[in-house]
Amino acid sequence: MNIHEYQAKDILRKLGVPIPAGEIATTPDEAEAIARRIGSEVVVKAQVHAGGRGKAGGVKLAKTPQEAREKAAAILGMQIKGLTVMKVLVTAASEIASEAYAGIILDRATKKPVFMVSPAGGIDIEEVAATTPEKILKLPIDTRFGLMPFQAMRLGFFLYDDLAKARAASKIMQQLYTAFMQSGCSLAEINPLIVDKAGQVIALDAKMGIDDNELDRRPEIAALRDETAEEPSEVDARNANLTFIKLEGNVGCCVNGAGLAMATMDLVKYYGGEPANFLDIGGSSNPEKVVNALRIITSDPSVKAILFNIFGGITRTDDVANGIVTATKMNPLKVPIVIRLTGTNEEIAMKILSENGFSASSDMDEAVKKAVALATGGQAA
Ligand code: GDP
Ligand code: MN
């Protein structure tokens, strides 16, 4: 789960990170009123779950409350990476002397949180990593001990030569680490971490990604979810208890089990196609899950073919077949469907499908090839 910049800033501010004052507005009127309360130059910032808002025109300076209103009017309703801006953060503007980067990610290889800091902060840390990797310090943390003071100072000195600034930064690193651990993050980053004209080290942006598996034991973090800011199909799928992630391709995939779903996506790619989604209907698939899955897949206009790949263990393939029949009666399909199923009650499933005009096979390779060919407009292989 992603949370907004203003929510991540609230968490960090409570832990003592220096962050300029700010409030949320959903209308230009509110933005103007907040700017008046702040009483200085402000920045109006789109609150969407996407990076690169600055480049996309979603971060604007405003010198007067009137200007804050105009900037808010321009940003509210704007599309950034396919997401509509519903809220803006109006926050006191800082004068920037330098921009650095500080982040923590969970590294699956070492199974540790890893700090990444760079004095070359600002917009594009991926670019820095690709072109000048020596400007990034990576420091894995042993969670038994946490971030040790000497490590925090090392991070601080990698960013600043000046002792006072390095100390200020090392304190922020401790606070960032605490936020990361307390909130169940898979990512927490401050970019940019700035030094202002007065020499203060300040967090101007904040981003946190929360591991979904941490939400059950952190209701206060789970409550930060903003469904209006999420991909509608993902919200729909979550409410239907399906594991779904929207992707960029055109082969809609409906699979049981996360492992088989991954293998299916690999095979789609192997045969030259691009999956439109990851969708796991789970172990026990009652027909209703299949109905929901098909509704969600077919609501994506980029889907040109649908691939069902079901390995029946606990999942009964006849349940899935009934789901397909019910769903397509309710909403006749506008795109071709390729069905592969094998395992529990396979004979019954095949019979149900053929009686209702569907063909199905038990060969995964063949089914994937066919779906890719149909999606790309070619002939089935
Ligand atoms: P992002 O593009 O989504 O990462 O949004 P950021 O909050 O990081 O803002 C992008 C850029 O806008 C920053 O790197 C700064 O250069 C600039 N910016 C943001 N806040 C301020 C501010 O208070 N003052 C000034 N002068 N520039 C700012
Ligand atoms: Mn940023």
pLDDT at 48 over 80: yes
Tell me if 205 CB under 6 Å of ligand 1. yes
Q: What span, in angstroms and rounded, lies between the C-alpha atoms of 291 and 308?
A: 12
CATH code, domain with 187: 3.30.470.20
Tell me if 207 CB under 6 Å of ligand 1. no
* Average pLDDT across the chain, whole number: 94
Q: Which ligand is nearest to the CA of 46?
A: 1
pTM of the model: 0.82
Residues around the ion ligand 2 (C-beta < 5 A)? 191, 205
CA distances from 341 to 67, 278, 324, 364, 380 (A): 60, 18, 12, 8, 18
Q: What is the mean pLDDT of residues 175-180?
A: 98
* Position 166 in a domain: yes
Could you report how far apart the first and last alpha carbons of the chain are, in Å?
A: 39
Q: Which ligand is nearest to the CA of 100?
A: 1
Tell me if 192 CB under 6 Å of ligand 1. yes
Instruction: Specify the number of domains making up the chain.
Output: 3
43 CA to centre of ligand 1 in angstroms: 8
Return the structure tokens found at 268.
């789609």
Instruction: For 285-305, write each residue's pLDDT tens digit.
Output: 678 888 899 999 999 999 999
- Tell me the residue range of the domain where 323 lies: 231-376
pLDDT at 257 over 70: yes
Q: Which residues are catalytic?
A: 101, 189
Q: Are 85 and 144 in a shared domain?
A: no
Mutate to test the pocket of ligand 1, among 49, 123, 187 (most ligand atoms within 8 A of CB): 123
Ligand 1, closest atom to CA 5? 7
Give the residue whose CA is nearest to atom 11 of ligand 1. 54
Q: Which strands make up the sheet holding 305-312, listed edge to edge? A: 243-246, 277-280, 251-255, 305-312, 337-343, 360-361
334 within 8 A of 301, measured Cβ to Cβ: no
CATH code, domain with 283: 3.40.50.261
pLDDT at 235 over 70: yes
Of 222, 255, 270, the residue at which a domain comes to its end is 222
pLDDT at 379 over 60: no
Angle subtended at Cα 69 by Cα 66 and Cα 70, rounded to the nearest 5 degrees: 90
Confidence (pLDDT) at 284: 64
* Position 323 in a domain: yes
59 CA to centre of ligand 1 in angstroms: 7
Q: Are 87 and 66 in a shared domain?
A: yes
* Position 3 in a domain: no
Tell me if 94 CB under 6 Å of ligand 1. yes
Q: Are 160 and 199 in a shared domain?
A: yes
Q: What span, in angstroms and rounded, lies between the C-alpha atoms of 155 and 265?
A: 39
Instruction: For 155-177, write each residue's pLDDT tens digit.
Output: 999 999 999 999 999 999 999 99
Q: Which residue has the tokens 């994937």?
A: 368
Confidence (pLDDT) at 27: 98
* Position 381 in a domain: no
Give the residue whose CA is nearest to atom 8 of ligand 1. 205
125 CA to centre of ligand 1 in angstroms: 14
Burial class of residue 110 (count of CB atoms within 10 Å of its CB; 0-12, 13-18, 19+): exposed
